[in-house]
């Protein structure tokens, strides 16, 4: 691992733990440099590569690329295929999962009524608020003054909510059904 990659890795670890980037003095200590000048040079390289930026006061901040993860070519889930090199591209989960940041939220899921849709207890759904919806979409809906996550369906010109688990009944509004947003993605942490 070259010194730029090593520094980037250490800065990413520091940022994930502290939610801010270290000072030049801290970078010097972190990297084992005797002077801040070496830290200035490596930060200059990281700025040129697009990983960090510096504001007018000299404070460092991460760019989108900073927390990006290397994107590899696809892998088959069936038979093995030859190992290929990385595409070299970096991508962030936000960039991959979120099209409209100002209208997107994440909601933690509780319960098992959507397991057949691949949404499990503890998952996080990405929801685009106020998005246009259609039948069959998985939606966050306000129904009779409560919220739920279900498929949007229609029967006899009447909208209702259908679970993704046959153990649960359909939900028909007694009073009102409002669509809060449409689920556009699911995040699941496999190993903690």
User: Mean of the pLDDT values across residues 143-162?
Assistant: 93
Catalytic residue among 150, 189, 191, 192: 150
In percent, how much of the chain has pLDDT > 90?
A: 40
pLDDT of the residue at 59 = 86
Residue tagged 């990297």 (tokens):
31
User: Mean of the pLDDT values across residues 146-158?
Assistant: 94
Residues in the chain: 192
- Mark whether 150 is an active-site residue: yes
Residue tagged 């397991």 (tokens):
115
Structural domains in the chain, sorted by start: 3-62 (1.10.10.10), 99-187 (2.10.109.10)
Q: H or E element: which one contains 61? A: strand 60-62
Q: What average pLDDT does the chain have?
A: 86
pLDDT of the residue at 88 = 60
Reported as a single tens digit per residue, the pLDDT across 81-123 is: 666 655 566 777 777 777 888 888 999 999 999 999 999 999 9
Q: Order of strands, edge to edge, in the sheet holding 124-129?
A: 104-108, 124-129, 177-187, 138-143, 146-155, 158-162
pLDDT of the residue at 102 = 83
- Mark whether 54 is an active-site residue: no
Catalytic residue among 103, 113, 167, 191: 113
Residue 25 has pLDDT above 80, yes or no: yes
pLDDT of the residue at 125 = 95
Whether pTM exceeds 0.85: no
User: Mean of the pLDDT values across residues 170-183?
Assistant: 93
Reported as a single tens digit per residue, the pLDDT across 30-83 is: 888 888 888 889 899 999 988 899 888 888 888 878 877 766 666 677 777 666
CA angle, residues 62, 183, 181, in degrees to nearest 5 = 100
pLDDT of the residue at 122 = 93
pLDDT of the residue at 81 = 67
| Lowest mean pLDDT segment, chosen from 57-66, 115-124, 129-138, 165-174 | 57-66
């Amino acid at each position: 691992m070259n010194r730029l990659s090593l520094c980037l890795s250490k800065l990413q670890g520091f940022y994930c733990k502290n939610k801010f980037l270290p000072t030049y003095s801290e970078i010097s200590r972190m990297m084992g440099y005797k002077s801040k000048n070496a830290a200035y040079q490596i930060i200059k390289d990281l700025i040129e590569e697009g990983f960090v930026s510096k504001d007018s006061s000299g404070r460092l901040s991460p760019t989108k690329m900073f927390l990006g993860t290397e994107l590899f070519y696809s892998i088959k889930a069936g038979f093995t295929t030859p190992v290929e090199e990385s595409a070299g591209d970096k991508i962030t989960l936000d960039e991959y999962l979120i099209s409209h940041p100002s209208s997107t939220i994440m909601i933690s899921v509780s319960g098992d009524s959507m397991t057949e849709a691949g949404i499990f207890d503890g998952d996080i759904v990405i929801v685009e608020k106020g998005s246009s919806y259609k039948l069959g979409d998985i939606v966050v809906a306000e129904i009779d003054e409560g919220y739920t996550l279900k498929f949007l369906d229609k029967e006899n010109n009447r909208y209702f909510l259908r679970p993704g688990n046959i153990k649960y009944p359909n939900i028909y509004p007694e009073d009102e059904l409002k669509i809060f947003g449409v689920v556009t993605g699911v995040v699941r942490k496999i190993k903690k």
